Amino acid sequence: MRRRPGISGLQTAAAARDQYRSLGENVAKIRTDLMKEQLATFRNQLEEFARKHKNDIKKSPAFRAQFHSMCAKCGVDPLASNKGFWAELLGIGDFYYELGVQIVDICLATRPHNGGLLDLEELRGLLAKRRRASREPITEDDCLRAVSKLKSLGGGFEVFTVGRRKLVRSVPTELNRDHNLILELAQVHGYVTVQEVENELTWKAGRALDALENLMREGLAMVDDGHPDGKRRYWFPCVGSAATGTEAAESVLSSPN
Amino acid sequence: MADFSFPYFYNYPPYFTLQPVRDTREKQVELWKQLILKYCKHHKYFVVDLEEGDFPLFANANIDRKLTYEAREVFLGALVSEGKAEWMDKGHRRCLILWRRIQDWAELLLSFVRENGMEDSVMTLEEIMSGDETRGSELAGIDRGVLIRAIKILEQKGKAAMFKGQATDDDGVKFSAH
């Protein structure tokens, strides 16, 4: 005989559902609480760690890099916000903002000379000069971090690699593959000739001249017709010998205007 | 005299070729203008001869580069248009470099006279250019033409009177610099 559903049966089913739900909610709550607790502990620990090692983080570049990589592993970005407790705690946001401003300053000041491409090593040298010896040393890692923060400003701030050098770009110029290859080639002597480019890269006539003229128009290359062999040389101040470049940048930075 | 220290770009070959791209050229001209003025001031050069080999600044043996005549004319021409130099002939072969303006030379002369209690004295042009009194001062080595023009400014203000000597060596000036 088939039983028809009765009131009590429905009530039992509803009660069971309720119980399941509340149990489930309980479990979820316990889990959340646990997570919250863990997070709080983690945060406390990290804060404590940061507070304890504040000076090390500010002073020692190696320590700073390790701290960053640790934060990155836990998915924490101490630079994400200037308002976060990191900034208050460490002033670490300020550190990179200050560095960023100085980098922008140097890039703009040296742009007339290098067309907006600056060797990263050169930049570091100039930063060190500007920040004076009393300040904490700046590593390549710090520069890269600061520049990556500048990227969000637009204006094309970016670090890219050409050959064995890293260049900081402060102009929105897009460099294509041809340009990069030429820059790489120019690192050897600081200059290239059309013939050199064509031979080294086995390009057909016209391609090299085209790319070189383009680089020149962008202010990245300068022509030199004065060599006794009569061949036009294209010089690249951004990959020029480090000494000349730094001196150039310094003279630009120290000029009164 | 301390050695002249050349700026970085003087050893960078492309700065010896006139740059075809406008922005780069402007920057280049600006740098050369400053260098020419500084160099002339340091060595007390007043007249620059554009002909090849005459003016040492225009060739850098270290990097085996020299400015073309055209480049020399462009850089000096830029100074001329700023009033910091003057062509001395129509063909633009010689250029007078005024790293100090004529009226500033006049001021300098006047303050030299006052500082040395020579308000009423008489000096020959030769004495001013290379005499004992001016030795070591900024007036020493001044170009004769520039000196005469400076004195003429003082004359207009009634602070000096020029007179002719029997020979050009004796041309002189009587100050009344009170």
Tell me A82's DSSP state. S
- Alpha-carbon distances, residue B140 vs B44, B65, B105, B109, B146 (angstroms): 9, 33, 12, 11, 12
Q: Distance between CA atoms of B87 and B49, rounded to whole angstroms?
A: 10
The residue in chain B having the minimum alpha-carbon distance to the alpha carbon of residue A246 is B8
| Residue among B5, B6, B8, B62 with most chain A CBs within 10 A, to mutate | B8
Taking the C-alpha atoms of A227, A232, A237 and A240 in order, what is their torsion angle to the nearest 10 degrees? -60
- Which tokens belong to A224? 């030199």
Q: Distance between CA atoms of A182 and A214, rounded to whole angstroms?
A: 11
Model pLDDT for residues B91-106, shown as the tens digit of each residue:
888 899 999 999 999 9
Q: Based on the domain organization, do B83 and B155 belong to the same domain? A: no
Q: Based on the domain organization, do B89 and B108 belong to the same domain? A: no
Last residue of some domain: B97, B118, B134?
B97
Last residue of some domain: B40, B69, B97?
B97
Nearest to A224 among B9, B11, B13 (CB): B13
| Residue among B6, B18, B24 with most chain A CBs within 10 A, to mutate | B24
Last residue of some domain: B97, B125, B159?
B97
Question: How many domains does the structure of chain A reveal?
Answer: 2
Model pLDDT for residues B42-89, shown as the tens digit of each residue:
998 999 988 866 788 999 999 999 999 999 999 999 999 999 999 998
In a domain, A156, yes or no: yes
- Which tokens belong to A93? 């946001």
Nearest to B12 among A112, A216, A244 (CB): A244
Which segments in chain A show pLDDT lower than 70? 1-3, 74-93, 133-135, 155, 240-257
Q: Based on the domain organization, do A74 and A158 belong to the same domain? A: no
Q: Based on the domain organization, do B116 and B142 belong to the same domain? A: yes
- Which tokens belong to A50? 């940061």
In a domain, A20, yes or no: no
Q: Based on the domain organization, do A69 and A103 belong to the same domain? A: no
- Asked if pLDDT for residue B4 goes beyond 80, the answer is yes
Q: Provide the pLDDT for residue B39.
A: 94
Nearest to A112 among B16, B17, B27 (CB): B27
* Structural domain boundaries, residue B22: 8-97
So what's the ipTM on this one?
0.80
Q: Provide the pLDDT for residue B42.
A: 92
Strand partners, B175: B160
Q: Based on the domain organization, do B151 and B170 belong to the same domain? A: yes
In a domain, A6, yes or no: no
| B65 to A223: CB separation less than 8 angstroms, yes or no | no
Q: Based on the domain organization, do A78 and A157 belong to the same domain? A: no
Q: Provide the pLDDT for residue B96.
A: 93
Nearest to A219 among B17, B24, B66 (CB): B24
| A222 to B14: CB separation less than 8 angstroms, yes or no | yes
Count of all residues that appear for chain B in the document: 178
| A248 to B65: CB separation less than 8 angstroms, yes or no | no
